[in-house]
Amino acid sequence: MKKPNLSAILTALFLLTALSAMMVSSVSSEEKSVSDVINDAWEQHIWGNFDEGIALVEDLFERTNLAPEDSIAAFEMLGIIYNCKGDEFKKTAIGYLQKISKVGPCYIELPGSKWPIELRKEWYKLTYAANTFTCEQEEEITVQFINTKSGKTESKKVKLRTIAVPLPFENTSIGDYQKSLGGLGTGLSQNFLVDFNKISSLKIVERDKIDFIIKELDLAKSGVVDQASAIEAGKILSAHLMVFGGFTQIDKDNTMMVVRIVDVETSEVIAVINHQGGSNYFEMEKELVSKICDELDLYISEEDRKELKLGGTSSPEAARYYSAGLESEIGEKYGEAFQNFKKAYDLDNDFTEARQKMEVYRPLST
């Protein structure tokens, strides 16, 4: 009887194992959702592994079942990564924004929170020139809620309102607080938008979108953006409500925040709401968001209220660094912005907004 060829058997087993591993890898890769692949690419991009991130996203286009919103998400991520690769890749990044525009700029909410400010500006230029700067929005949305009496999930239609916080909060603090809290007004106005965005019945208008319209149409005749020019821009962007505010800190235990809610169509102040606290600036901001919703009878679900409690920081120092980071971001000083956001996050590891901003500007900070 002929002895089996041991070498041939081992070779066959090796090939079979390798083929099996390749098949498993292929199936595993194909089974990954588009959002999971995009998240993997984002993680690579955060740490400067740009080519690895690009390769992950480009593999998505081998799939035959990409929905329009999936294609947009892929183009969006490629635009973000190429924008970070250096000046020689900026045109490539803008090219992906143009691809998004051709697929349809209103399939998903754009620009997203992961976009650095320079890319956001390019998007505004592109969509403004193409007359797709604003997307049509529904007047009502259907929300689901749990009936506390029956315990059953029910649905109802509620009015959708568009809200903007176009200006930093005015700082009228006393003594040294006037200087030390110099940038806090920017942080407060930004976090109002972050928290308004958690509420089902509200749609936000980003501050930089309002800034773009004011500059494009030369609405700030004096060169300074004020309430009047902001409201004029808000009308163009179909905003319903605008929030203007200020804060005064007298000592570490006494801070007053005041907000005025303006009806954009009439320019009338429809509510004035205040809240008093110590140095817990972002906690006060969240309380004011809830008060605004209650005062204006805006729909806010229990899930919205739970979401509203998340994020922000109770650390005054972290709030100041975060606000300084936002001002550096506006000035496109990316290294400085990253360092400020990092300091804020190091002081409070639960400060979600600081971490998210840190991720956006880490790859641009070197």
More confident residue, 148 or 275: 275
Query: Measuring CA to CA, how many Å separate 325 from each of 27, 89, 118, 120?
Result: 43, 25, 15, 17
Proportion of the chain above pLDDT 70, given as a percent:
92
- Residue 22: what pLDDT? 47
User: Which one-letter DSSP state was computed for residue 213?
Assistant: H
pLDDT for residue 1 is more than 70: no
Q: From CA 18, how far away is CA 22, in angstroms rounded?
A: 6
160-310 has the same fold as 33-129: no
User: Which one-letter DSSP state was computed for residue 115?
Assistant: S
- Whole-prediction pTM value? 0.88
* Strand segments (E) across 210-328: 241-251, 254-263, 268-277
pLDDT tens column, 175-209: 999 999 999 999 999 999 999 999 999 999 999 99
pLDDT for residue 14 is more than 60: no
pLDDT for residue 148 is more than 60: yes
Q: From CA 15, how far away is CA 222, in angstroms rounded?
A: 75
Mean pLDDT of 236-265: 97
For 159, the enclosing helix (H) or strand (E) is strand 153-159
Q: From CA 133, how far away is CA 120, in angstroms rounded?
A: 12
**For residue 316, which of 285, 361, 293, 295 has the smallest C-alpha distance?**
285
Tokens 């929005």 -> residue:
137
Confidence at 18, pLDDT banded by 50, 70, 90: very low
Confidence at 29, pLDDT banded by 50, 70, 90: very low
Indicate the range of 18-22, 191-195, 258-262, 341-345 predicted with least confidence: 18-22
Residue spans of the domains in the chain: they are 33-129, 160-310
Mean pLDDT of 307-334: 96
Residue 241 β-bridge partners:
163, 263
**For residue 217, which of 204, 227, 207, 230 has the smallest C-alpha distance?**
230
Confidence at 10, pLDDT banded by 50, 70, 90: very low
pLDDT for residue 17 is more than 80: no
Q: Is 219 helix (H, G, I), strand (E, B) or coil?
A: coil
Q: What is the CATH number of domain 160-310?
A: 3.40.50.10070
Per-residue b or e along 21-37, where b marks 16 or more CB atoms closer than 10 Å to that residue's CB: eeeeeeeeeeeeebeeb
Mean pLDDT of 255-276: 97
End-to-end CA distance of the chain: 70
Indicate the range of 107-111, 290-294, 321-325 predicted with least confidence: 107-111
Listed in sequence order, the residues at least 6 apart from 201 whose beta carbon sits closer than 8 Å to its beta carbon are 141, 143, 158, 159, 160, 161, 298, 299, 300
Q: From CA 4, how far away is CA 84, in angstroms rounded?
A: 58
- Residue 223: what pLDDT? 79
pLDDT tens column, 324-357: 999 999 999 999 999 999 999 999 999 999 999 9
Listed in sequence order, the residues at least 6 apart from 168 whose beta carbon sits closer than 8 Å to its beta carbon are 185, 186, 188, 189
Given 1.25.40, 3.30.420, 2.60.40, 1.10.3470, which CATH number is that of 33-129? Answer: 1.25.40
- Residue 26: what pLDDT? 46
